[in-house]
Chain A
Amino acid sequence: GENVEQHPSTLSVQEGDSAVIKCTYSDSASNYFPWYKQELGKGPQLIIDIRSNVGEKKDQRIAVTLNKTAKHFSLHITETQPEDSAVYFCAASNGGSQGNLIFGKGTKLSVKP
């Protein structure tokens, strides 16, 4: 089955700097790759996603890139702000008809003012 590895597990940056979180997946049939942000005491919230027919997608300060050949995808946050501090999860669909998401273990991002 699908396996998703996420790095780093913790990331600390200064406000205004960029942050990059990387994930790799194992199932070449996976075709949907969302990123979720989870704040303390809340459920994960979808912030951006990408499908396998697209190499890059951007939404304001957030961008995601996908390399299907290498089976890895990355989240880029530019001009980080303290409110970006949270745990970020990558996920991949396991292909087939169910469309279930397999999650990475998460990255705790801390943005220092």
Chain B
Amino acid sequence: EAGVAQSPRYKIIEKRQSVAFWCNPISGHATLYWYQQILGQGPKLLIQFQNNGVVDDSQLPKDRFSAERLKGVDSTLKIQPAKLEDSAVYLCASSFLRDRGGYTFGSGTRLTVV
């Protein structure tokens, strides 16, 4: 099966600019996650979708981050305005069932804010 697709692979922006990341999960996976991975750390959950509804966005900095999952398939994560501390790899993952674990991660988007 095809994996989780993410784009772009790399992005460099100046602080206060905006940026958007795109994710296409594995076909049939109802649950989609966005994680932030700062260099040298483990991934940290930003938001979880079940189909096109938000299940958990408690860790999402809502003053600058937003995410949507239209039609329960693709998802976009946006940052506006970006800060230097947003430099990280943004990982998208999907799973078939919400409480069965077994996430499949994409390769991520490496964001550098200068």
A residues with CB within 8 A of B: 4, 6, 32, 34, 36, 41-46, 49, 89, 91, 93, 97-106
Contacts and interface: CB of A to CB of B under 8 A. Distances in A.
Interface residues of B, number: 24
* Prevailing SS type, chain B contact patch: loop
A41 B103 contact: no
Nearest to B106: A43
Contact of B101 (A32, A41, A43, A102): A32
Contacts of A105: 40-42
A99 B41 contact: no
A32 B98 CA distance: 12
B77 to A, nearest CB: 15
Most buried by B among A89, A100, A105: A100
Given A43-B4, A89-B42, A106-B42, A101 B105 contact: no
Contacts of A97: 98-99
B45 A100 contact: yes
B99 A99 contact: yes
Contacts of A44: 43, 91, 105
Contacts of A89: 42-43
Interface of B: 4, 33, 40-45, 48, 55-56, 91, 93, 98-108
18 contacts: A4-B42, A32-B101, A36-B105, A43-B105, A43-B106, A43-B107, A44-B43, A44-B91, A45-B105, A49-B102, A91-B42, A93-B99, A97-B98, A98-B48, A100-B56, A103-B42, A103-B43, A105-B42
B73 to A, nearest CB: 19
Nearest to A104: B42
Contacts of A45: 105
A93 B100 CA distance: 10
Given A44-B91, A100-B33, A34 B43 contact: no
B64 to A, nearest CB: 21
